[in-house]
Each structure stands twice: as C-alpha cells, then as structure tokens.
Amino acid sequence: MDLTTVLGKDQGLLALKMGIQWHELSPEYSVATMPVEGNTQTFGILHGGSFVVLGESMGSIAANIYAHQNGLGMAVGIEVNATHTGSGVSGYIIGTCRSLHLGRTLTTHEIVCTNEEGKRLSTVRITNLIKKVAG
C-alpha cells in the first residue's frame, strides 16, 4: 500500500528502516507487518522499542488520515505506552490498529502486535492531538 497516495506523505525514514509494510489502512482499522530480523536486541529477540515504533507509526498515520479526511489539520502524538507480553523471535510481527476514539481534538488507537501464529506479544496505545495547520 502506498501511503503517499493515501496521505500525500510517506511513512518516514524510521518506519522504512524498520521494514514496516502496510496491508490495510483507514482511520478506524489498519494492518501492517514488520520483520523481526534486523530489529532485534542483544539476545536475538525483537527489541521492545520495535513494538512501540510499529504501534506509534500505525496510530499516528491512522490519526493523520482521519484529520486529513475531515479537514481538521494534522495529528501529533502526545502519549504512547506499551505492555509487552511475549517475544518476537522470527518471521513477522503483525500489527492490528483499531480506533478507540476519533474526536475533533484527540484520537486514541490501540495496536495489538502478534506473531504469525496469532499470539499477542505487545499492546500499544497512542493518543494524538489534532492541531490546526497554519496556511
């Protein structure tokens, strides 16, 4: 999926370096994948920060699409948290992003990160502030 077509911008260099690929994308529901390989920490498992990068990327892009579609401005993250409940050891991590709140000034998304077998490995929650864009 080409974000430039949907949003007018790409996903940013960090998400590109992490290998994030988009499969579905809307303000309410998105799916993306990220490889474990290349995103590991010292012990050979997925770095916990990688879950946060995937989740924050997904929630921020979904919030920006919502803001753009509704003429509200742009969305910027103001809070993110993650609870890791498992380790990614190989293959791909699948992120499923669902909106919890889509308002005029705030959006909140929950991103569930699983392995390819469907085991939940991390849950990320992000709140974005919607700001007017000068122009």
Q: In what order do the strands lie in the sheet with 106-114?
A: 21-24, 29-35, 92-102, 106-114, 120-131, 74-84
Q: Is 56 an annotated catalytic residue?
A: yes
Catalytic entry in 24, 28, 56, 79? 56
What residues contact residue 2 under an 8 Å CB cut-off, 6+ apart? none
Residues known to be catalytic? 56
